[in-house]
Structure 1
């Protein structure tokens, strides 16, 4: 059975507890858009507004929460429309995708001009659906209503408030949320500019406007809007970081460095150190070895879980013409993200440069499986360096999102690492069999950190992603599994993933290859019959 655990969470196997709802200490919480039960037009904006408001209130009370941007990225990864009304099973998938421990589901409705908000917690760690809690009051008192709702969800007597995060009135908050969910940039700007006109000190609207201008590559207007954030604002540091990013995009490198170095002097940050490194790479056509690597190295020390920072460090060493250092750090990058095609490709070039031709060929083959762009790089490069400039990665988020990715640092020998990888793989296999997918993914990631090319681990991760609705991620994992070791099972799983992303031709090719390896494979023959269509 698929997603039996999810069904259990939904209540068919585990009945709701009668204890007060309570967010466990240290849990990562994701609040999903609320259901507008009666399809009340006045509450249309409240679907997203409730999620934003409740997230703010829980965060202000000290809970770890998933922000809106990370929630939207999870929806995108799962191929779910941002405005979709999710089933509980899909809601649980979103929770797993962001590594959350708790998912908050809820609804809003109007009863005789009284706003009624209901919510309940889904504990993904224990598989419990906790009792529903509710709060009500006049629509004009929406902040107070959700403050009481947050209080009940936390199971404490403390009043929850987020006055420093919210605009001065619910009317302004409504304008702000309508700007966030608007379907076009022009409409979004209109609502957000109305928000600022009504509440000039509500700087969250400025950051939202900055994102719209930045997405449109209108960096001067983006710079102008964040430059208006007051020094005493709670969002001053965030605003200054965004200002530096706009200066960088406008090629005002010296101004960007002044801003970034001042931020780093106040408080060390991986994102700021990384941005300084990126600026050093871009500021001069005459490359200066060592300047960027110094800051990228700082960034990896400050946030050792982020594979992009290790990629930047390895890439910068390649530009410094130090292939051995590039090899070391790019290997660290693929430990953290085995599907990083750019890292695999540059690693192959660096290995070839040092004479490790066999290993270089393997890395190049994997890169070409992950993307066709690397062949284009090679054809354009001719006899020159096939690694183009401009691959460095820039993070627009100053504060890294809460993560459940383990930063496994080990000094054990290779034999010990192989044994430990096998241990985590076995634990992941057992968790997969009992459909504890969240635990299984964690164990498989631990195994892949220790042994990045473990074929069975990639196959199992691909199957987990398939079961969780993450078909695009499944395709990537299964391609690496086949590169590591070609098996019938991996071809069949990849065919299923391709079908899920509507690529029937690629699915047929995988079934053909599976049957070439084993013409009697029952699973391959069943999938071939299921696909139907013309003879092939």
Structure 2
């Protein structure tokens, strides 16, 4: 159910000009942070995920079903400003799940841009709901753990509603990942040009044609994206396609555009060098490949191709040095590279590389839950004073699961992470504490952590905030004086 909200809201935000992170990016971020893909998360966890993925905002949400009536709520967390939007809410029959999600998406968009040009009625018409059975099968496919289950659910969804593009796209992705390009291409081709998934589908379709040996058709599929999405990956791949077709001016133009987008990408220099090698332009090849190895000195293939170019130029000593850097004393690797000849093209494999859970329901009243939170915090404080850090951490985590706004639980959990040397997590917990309630102690603790991280500008900002709360606070004044005496750092990476 939670995944259905993520998918539905993302699709509607994409279709309205926003760029939400993909499910793959979200799961990758969770894996890097060591967080579970599902479960009850704390607000600090949401904040950490937003920071990890460099997101501007995180949509937090809750839902509940009672007597077949669905209630969905959402808030937007501004990751940089640490502010929360007002609570946005929609209700309706559970059978109208997609309709409720569409109305909630409209409220999110209106909050982001009060001048959003579509009325709710017009917005709903842009996203007519698919049959609930198709949407359910699609979400089951996303959550399935085996390829066979994914294929079955995506096929069910695509057949239930042939006009519903997400299952067709992910079905194509399954075939693509299996290198069954002939099976993948028709499904990618089914995505309409005005669909939010169209750009990604067209990008993958071009790769299907390329890997199937039809480079001209690959170019035809990808060229329109150059105008709609002028990014490095598109220009790089178009350069490779043109190089394979021996279209010299076109290839140079595409690679130059890719380098204008990212002048420090070694793969673009590699492809440019490879293109010059194909044409026998040895000096140009050496120059481009030199840029590549300057950016990535361990690039075996680039060193190998440089050796090839030096040999063609009669510069044997340089060729030997480059070959030694490439293969050393490994004859098997040398033979493998020789067999590939000039088949080394480096394609951008995808266009973009790049939560809430319901709190436990029960019959407890708000006052009973508050009592449970207080018990967990009190136990945690006792355990922390006794040095039983892991048990204390569990108590504070339980308190936060029951009440994500517990300032005291977040503050003490930050202390635990600080003792364990896990400073980024301590910072996130202190931010969550301040998010729940402004306190001088949390501001000063955060300032101290920033000092440990050698980030005096952020530390000063926290001290100023503490003094705004209590201008006579002695600890804040002392820390202010300490910072004034330090060297300072005028510019730092924003948090």
Q: TM-score interval w.r.t. the shorter chain? A: 0.5 to 0.7
Q: Distance in 2 between the 1:376 and 1:87 partners?
A: 53
Q: Decide whether the 8 Å contact of 2:181 with 2:212 is kept in 1.
A: yes
Cα 1:343–1:125 change in 2 (3 A) is: farther
Confirm whether residue 300 of structure 1 aligns to residue 255 of structure 2.
Answer: no
Give yes or no for the alignment of 1:182 onto 2:144: yes
Mapping 1:227-246, distance limit 5 Å: 227-230=189-192, 238-246=200-208
Q: What are the residue-to-residue correspondences of 1:193-204 with 2, within 5 Å?
A: 193-204=155-166
2:63 — aligned with what? 108
2:130 to 140, 165, 168: 168
SS in 1 for 2:187: helix
- Secondary structure in 2 matching 1:277: helix
Are 2:279 and 1:323 aligned? Answer: no
Unaligned runs of at least 5 residues, structure 2:
355-420, 427-495
User: C-alpha displacement at 1:140, in angstroms?
Assistant: 1.9
Equivalent in the alignment of 1:127:
82
Alignment map for 1:137-148 (pairs within 5 Å): 137-148=92-103
Correspondence for 1:65 among 20, 33, 36: 20
Which position in structure 1 is the counterpart of 2:347?
Answer: 394
* Structure 1 pair 56–260 and aligned structure 2 pair: CA distance change class (3 A): closer
Q: 1:263 to 1:467 in 2, by over 3 A?
A: closer
Shift of 1:114: 1.3
User: Partner of 2:89: helix, strand, or coil?
Assistant: strand
Say whether the 8 Å CA contact 1:345–1:374 is kept in structure 2: no
The CA distance in 2 between the partners of 1:307 and 1:78, in whole Å, is 28
Shift in Å, 1:187: 1.3
- Residues 315 and 165 from structure 1, CA distance in 2 versus in 1: closer, same or farther, beyond 3 angstroms? farther
1:59-88 Cα distance to aligned partner (Å, 9 max, x none): 444444223233233234445454455443
- CA drift of 1:224 comes to 2.6
* Structure with the larger helix share: 2
**3-state DSSP of counterpart to 1:116:** strand
Following superposition, the deviation at residue 126 of structure 1 comes to: 1.8
Distance 2:337 2:16 in 1: 56
State the SS of the aligned residue for 2:30: helix
Indicate the larger mover: 181-190 or 392-401: 392-401
Deviations 1:162-192 (A, max 9, x none): 6545652333222222222221122112121
Query: Is this contact kept in 2: 1:315–1:330, CA < 8 A?
Result: no
Mapped contact 2:103–2:124 kept (Cα < 8 A): no
CA contact (8 A) 1:377 1:386 kept: no
Q: Mapping of 1:224-373 within 5 angstroms? A: 224-230=186-192, 238-261=200-223, 264=226, 270-280=232-242, 292-302=251-261, 308-310=267-269, 312-313=271-272, 316=275, 321=282, 322-328=285-291, 331=294, 334=295, 343=299, 346=302, 350=306
**One of 20, 39, 43 as aligned partner of 1:88:** 43
SS in 1 for 2:60: strand
The offset of 1:465, in angstroms, is 11
CA RMSD, Structure 1 to Structure 2 (Å): 4.4
Asked whether the 8 Å contact 2:90–2:104 carries over to 1, the reply is yes
Cα deviation 1:168-217 (Å, max 9, x = unaligned):
23332222222222211221121211222121122232211110001111
Mapping 1:21-32, distance limit 5 Å: none
CA distance in 2, matches of 1:261, 1:157: 34
Does the aligned pair in 2 maintain the 1:56–1:162 contact within 8 Å? no
Compared CA separation, residues 124 and 266, structure 1 to 2 (3 A): closer
CA–CA distance in 2 between the matches of 1:244 and 1:137? 42
Q: Is the 8 A contact 1:274 1:394 kept in 2?
A: yes
Q: TM-score, normalised by structure 2?
A: 0.56
Change (3 A) 1:350 1:55: same
- TM-score, normalised to structure 1's length? 0.52
SS of corresponding position for 1:395? coil
The superposition leaves residues 252-299 of structure 1 with CA deviations (integer Å, 9 ceiling, x where unpaired) of: 22332343346547875543332222334556xxx8977744422222
Aligned residue pairs, count: 341
- Structure 1 residue matching 2:158: 3-state secondary structure: helix
Distance 1:57 1:181, change over 3 A: same
Confirm or deny: 8 A CA contact 2:70 2:97 kept in the other structure: yes
Return the alpha-carbon distance in structure 1 between the equivalents of residues 425 and 265 of structure 2: 23
1:214-225 equivalences in 2 (<5 Å): 214-225=176-187
Cα 1:396–1:350, aligned 2, differ >3 Å: closer, same or farther? closer
Instruction: Report if the CA contact (8 A) 1:175-1:192 is conserved.
Output: yes
